[in-house]
Amino acid sequence: MQKYDVVIIGAGAAGLTAAIYASRRELKTLVLSMNLGGQAAMASEIENYPGAEKKSGLELIKIFADQAKKFGAEIIFDRVKKISAKGGKYPFKIKSTKDNFETKAVILALGRTPRRLNVPGEGKYHGKGVVYCATCDAPLFRNKKVAVVGGGNSALDAAILLSKIAKKVYLIHRRDEFRGEEYRVTRIKKTKNIELLLNSEIKEILGDDFLNKIIVENNQNQEKRKLEIKGLFVEIGYEVDPALIKGLVDLEENNQIIVKSCGETSTPGIFAAGDVTNIPYKQIVISAGAGAKAALSAYDYINKNK
C-alpha cells in the first residue's frame, strides 16, 4: 500500500496544474490517469493559452507534465477502479487496476468527454477537420466553409462565432426546431452566411489526409446531400462518467461535481477541478486555474487535519 499526501485523478490541464502546486508545497503527490492530457491533448492547435505560442494540445500538456515531474510529482498511467473513505490517519483508499494507495486528500480532475456522432470517418478525421470546441479551434478555419452539428446553445454559439470567421457555415440539426434560446435562433436566422439544414443528420465524413466532405441526409424524405467543407464542429454536448464519483461527492443533474469557489466538494478532503465540475466555460486556462486552487485547498486541509 503506497501512501501519499495527495492523489490527483486525471492528467489534463487541471490535474497537472494541481500536481505542480501540490508538489511545490512539499506534498507527496501522485497523479493517476488513463492517459496524458485528456480532452486538451486532442486539440490540433492551441492559440489562446496565455504565454504560450501556438502549439498542439499534446505539446502544451507535455510541458505541464514535465513541470509537475520537475517539482517531484509522480505520474502513473492506470485506471482507478474505486475511491473509498474509511477514516484514520490516511482517510482515503484508492484502488487501481495494478495497485492500492492511501492518501490524505484527493483531487478529482477527471474531465469529461464530448459526445460523438458515431458515424463513419469521425474517428479518422478527429483533429484533421473534425473538432469538438469552437472556442478553441474556430480561428483555424478563417475564410473556409464549415459545418456545425447540434441544436442547443453550444451549437448556436458555435455557429454565431464561426459566422464571423468562416466563409460559410452550415448548421445541421436533426429536428425542425432548436433547443437553444430564442434570441440566439433569431440572430442566426438573420446571419447571411449561415445556412440551416433542419431535420438532417450526418451519415458519413469523407476526405483525403484531412476532412473535405460530409454526407447529410434529410430524415423526413431521405434525400442526401454532399457538402464540401474543411471543418466540422460537433456541438452535441459532453458526458461525465459518474461510475467512480457517484455517492462519493454531490453531483448536479448532468453528473458534474458541485464545487465551491476553491474546489471544495461536499466531502471534506476531496476536491475537484476542471471540466468534471459544474463551473462554466470549459477552457484549458480555466481548468489550470481551478487545479491550482484545488491543490492549495488540499494543502490547507492537510495542515489543519494533521
Following CA atoms 126, 130, 136, 140 in sequence, which dihedral angle do they give, to the nearest 10 degrees? 110
Q: Supply φ then ψ for residue 37, to 5 degrees.
A: 105, -30
Percent with pLDDT over 70 in the chain: 98
Cite the beta strand spans of the chain per DSSP E. Answer: 2-9, 29-33, 74-77, 80-85, 92-96, 100-108, 113-114, 130-131, 145-149, 168-172, 194-197, 200-207, 211-218, 224-228, 231-234, 238-239, 270-272
pLDDT tens-digit readout, 126-147:
989 999 888 778 999 999 999 9
Q: What nine digits make up the cell of 296? A: 492549495
pLDDT tens-digit readout, 102-135:
999 999 999 988 889 999 999 999 989 999 888 7
CATH architecture of 130-234: 3-Layer(bba) Sandwich (3.50)
**Gap between the Cα atoms of 146 and 233, Å rounded:** 8
pLDDT band at 99 (very low <50, low <70, confident <90, very high): very high
Catalytic residue among 5, 66, 78, 136: 136
Catalytic residue among 66, 99, 137, 275: 137
Catalytic residue among 133, 176, 209, 250: 133
176 labelled catalytic: no
CATH architecture of 2-112+240-304: 3-Layer(bba) Sandwich (3.50)
Residue 62 is inside which H or E element, if any?
helix 57-70
Average pLDDT of the residues in 166-188: 95
Q: What nine digits make up the cell of 199? A: 431535420
Domain ranges of the chain: 2-112+240-304, 130-234
pLDDT band at 256 (very low <50, low <70, confident <90, very high): very high
Q: What is the pLDDT of residue 85?
A: 79
Percent with pLDDT over 90 in the chain: 79
CB atoms < 10 A from the CB of 133, how many?
A: 22
**Gap between the Cα atoms of 238 and 116, Å rounded:** 9
Tell me which residue has cell 485523478.
9
Going by their DSSP bridges, the two strands 211-218 and 29-33 should be labelled as unpaired
CA distances from 204 to 115, 136, 151 (A): 16, 24, 19
Confirm whether 2-112+240-304 and 130-234 share one CATH topology.
yes
Q: What is the pLDDT of residue 87?
A: 56
136 labelled catalytic: yes
What are the residue ranges of helices labelled H in 77-140? 134-137
Residue 295: CB partners within 8 Å, gap ≥ 6? 6, 17, 18, 19, 20, 21, 22, 25, 107, 271
Residues 154 and 235 sit within 8 Å (Cβ to Cβ): yes
Q: Is the pTM of this model over 0.85?
A: no
